[in-house]
């Protein structure tokens, strides 16, 4: 590990399998921050590193999973996403998942697309099995109407949207173009007005 990677690794929380959803998602969030700042890690290395922070009930759960699902088993956890989903299923109570789904159905874009994407991602990260169709519906419903309209009419250069991350990025591009076009319109209007005023004065 590089020195920077080591710094982020030290900030990954230990997870005991207790403490409710706050402890679980604190661990998940800290590990994902580490992944964002780490060198390219093989998927199996991600799982090994993530599990090295387990203790208590969490490590017992992990040992039981490996015993019940040998290396050659199709159900064996091999990626960080699978491990995260397994932890959520094992240690997040069902009522928490219901509360998160309710929030997804009511979340609305109030600021920028970037802010909305961050809030939406934070919620979906807490659910183990969210289909793209389900996430897409909730995401689009929360967008400002003008962004939804742009998304329907904008040429996305043949970009095939089949996952929520691609959809978020497409909306982010639309949002970043919108202020510029407004500024251009305002500049054009101001320039036209000034020319008219100058012409009137002469």
pLDDT tens column, 79-129: 999 999 899 889 987 777 788 888 899 999 999 999 999 889 888 887 767
Using one digit for the tens of pLDDT, what is the confidence trace for 129-157? 778 888 899 999 999 988 888 877 765 54
| CB of 140 closer than 8 Å to CB of 148 | yes
Distance CA 39, CA 93 (A): 34
Alpha carbon distance 135, 5 (integer Å): 32
100 and 8 housed in the same domain: no
182/197 same-domain check: yes
What is the reported pLDDT for 176? 59
Domain extent at residue 154:
96-201
The answer to whether residues 101 and 127 touch, using CB atoms and an 8 Å cutoff, is: yes
In the chain, the number of structural domains is: 2
Q: Which CATH number does the domain housing residue 186 bear?
A: 1.10.1200
pTM above 0.85, yes or no: no
Nearest of 183, 171, 34, 29 to residue 114 by alpha carbon: 171
44 shares its domain with 101: no
- My answer on whether 197 and 100 are in the same domain is yes
Asked if residue 192 has pLDDT above 80, the reply is no
Q: Is the pLDDT of residue 29 over 80?
A: yes
Asked if 48 and 134 sit in the same domain, the reply is no
Provide the percentage of residues in the chain whose pLDDT is more than 90.
Answer: 35
Task: Give the per-residue pLDDT at 70.
Answer: 92
Note the pLDDT of residue 65: 97
Q: Looking at the structure, do residues 106 and 39 belong to the same domain, yes or no?
A: no
Do 27 and 119 have their domain in common? no
Q: Domain ends where: 62, 92, 122?
A: 92
**pLDDT reported for residue 1:** 67
Among 105, 11, 74, 87, residue whose Cα is nearest residue 47? 87
Query: Does one domain contain both 76 and 11?
Result: yes
Q: Do 107 and 120 meet the contact criterion of CB atoms below 8 Å apart? A: yes
Lowest mean pLDDT among 54-58, 76-80, 164-168, 185-189: 185-189
The pLDDT-based confidence of 191 (bands split at 50, 70, 90) is very low
Sequential DSSP letters for 112-154? -HHHHHHHHHHHHTT-S---HHHHHHHHHHHS-HHHHHHHHHS
Does one domain contain both 104 and 148?
yes
Quickly state the pLDDT bin for 53 (edges 50, 70, 90): very high
Task: Tell me: pLDDT of 40 over 70.
Answer: yes
Where is average pLDDT lowest: 25-29, 35-39, 40-44, 82-86? 40-44
Domain end among 66, 92, 118: 92
Residue 105: closest CA among 131, 141, 133, 151: 141
Do 84 and 171 belong to one domain?
Answer: no
Angle subtended by helix axes 20-37 and 80-91, to nearest 10: 170
Per-residue confidence (pLDDT) for residue 4, from 0 to 100? 72
């Amino acid at each position: 590990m590089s020195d920077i990677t080591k710094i982020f690794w030290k900030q990954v929380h230990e997870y005991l399998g207790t403490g409710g959803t706050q402890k679980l998602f604190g661990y998940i969030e800290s590990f994902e921050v580490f992944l964002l700042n780490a060198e390219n890690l093989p998927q199996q290395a991600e799982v090994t590193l993530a599990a090295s922070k387990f203790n208590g009930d969490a490590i017992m759960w992990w040992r039981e999973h490996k015993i019940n699902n040998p290396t050659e088993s199709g159900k064996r956890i091999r990626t960080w996403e699978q491990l995260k989903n397994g932890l959520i299923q094992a240690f997040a109570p069902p009522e928490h998942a219901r509360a998160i789904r309710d929030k997804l159905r009511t979340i609305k874009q109030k600021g920028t697309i970037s802010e909305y994407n961050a809030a939406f991602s934070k919620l979906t990260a807490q659910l183990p099995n969210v289909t793209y169709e389900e996430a897409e519906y909730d995401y689009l419903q929360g967008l400002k109407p003008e962004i939804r309209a742009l998304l329907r009419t904008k040429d996305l250069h043949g970009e095939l949207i089949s996952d929520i991350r691609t959809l978020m990025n497409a909306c982010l591009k639309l949002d970043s173009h919108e202020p510029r076009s407004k500024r251009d319109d305002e500049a054009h209007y101001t320039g036209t007005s000034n020319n008219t005023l100058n012409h009137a004065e002469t």
